[in-house]
Amino acid sequence: MIRIQNILVSPGEGGVYNERMLEGYRVWDPYRSKLAALYILGEGVELPKSMRVLYLGAANGTTVSHVADYVETVYAIEFAPRPMQDLLEVARRRKNVVPIMADASRPEEYAPFVEAVDLIYQDVAQPDQVNIAERNLPFLRPGGWLILMLKTRSVDVRRDPKEVLADTLTELGRRLEVVEVRWLDPYHVDHAAIVCRDRS
């Protein structure tokens, strides 16, 4: 990942969300993007130019736009109409973003439009986050990556976040190798980033 004066940046055209520019690069704000927080607090997954990404929970395209600055193609899934409008604007200016209005828990609806990908990135803040991730695993190429941003309060607001994380890791560990787990505070409270890799 590119850093300037130790600040995480991406190499694209600015003006997506009033982000600061630094020496011609876009500052990637960890308070606005959980993925940026992961790169600052931990390792994450490299984003080479050749990479294809399936992004679940694209919202208005803030993080999508930074990922698209690095990789070949981002298939961006979002089901809410309002953020979709902003996402379409991001896609208009970045030809490697494929916006798809669909429910990430129904991947059969967008399967005809999505190729095999190297990384599934999921940030949907739903109770059934693991189930949604598992349904999308058929898109992952052998040896590919999953980054799941777990919002523990969305799973169960009454339970201890650490317990929710432990259960989530057990479930994901049945299908994938868990390689990194990182709480994202102070940038995002009660959120954990889970990085997994396909075992095959």
Between 124 and 155, name the residue whose CB sits nearer to ligand SAM: 124
Please identify, using beta-carbon distances, which residue of 120 and 199 lies nearer to ligand SAM.
120
- Name the 3-class secondary structure at 102: coil
Residue 126 binds ligand SAM, judged by CB under 6 A:
yes
Does 79 carry a binding-site annotation? yes
124 near ligand SAM, rule: CB under 6 A: yes
Beta pairing partners, 3: 8
Q: Write out the H or E segment, with its range, that includes residue 21.
A: strand 21-22
Binding mask 38-77 for ligand SAM (x = CB under 6 A): -------------------x-x--xx-------------x
User: Are 184 and 163 within 8 A, CB to CB?
Assistant: no
Confirm whether residue 62 is marked as ligand binding. Answer: yes
Q: Which two tokens stand for residue 168?
A: 């989530």
Residues in the chain: 200
- What's the min distance (Å) between Cβ of 8 and ligand SAM? 14
Known binder of ligand: residue 104? yes
Select from 2-10, 103-111, 166-174, 188-196 the region that touches ligand SAM (CB under 6 A).
Answer: 103-111
Interface with ligand SAM (CB under 6 A), residue from 1, 42, 72, 79: 79
CA dihedral for 179, 52, 67, 123, sign (positive or negative): negative
Residue type, 153: R
Distance CA 139, CA 116 (A): 5
What residues are designated binding site for S-adenosyl-L-methionine? Answer: 62-63, 78-79, 103-104, 123-126
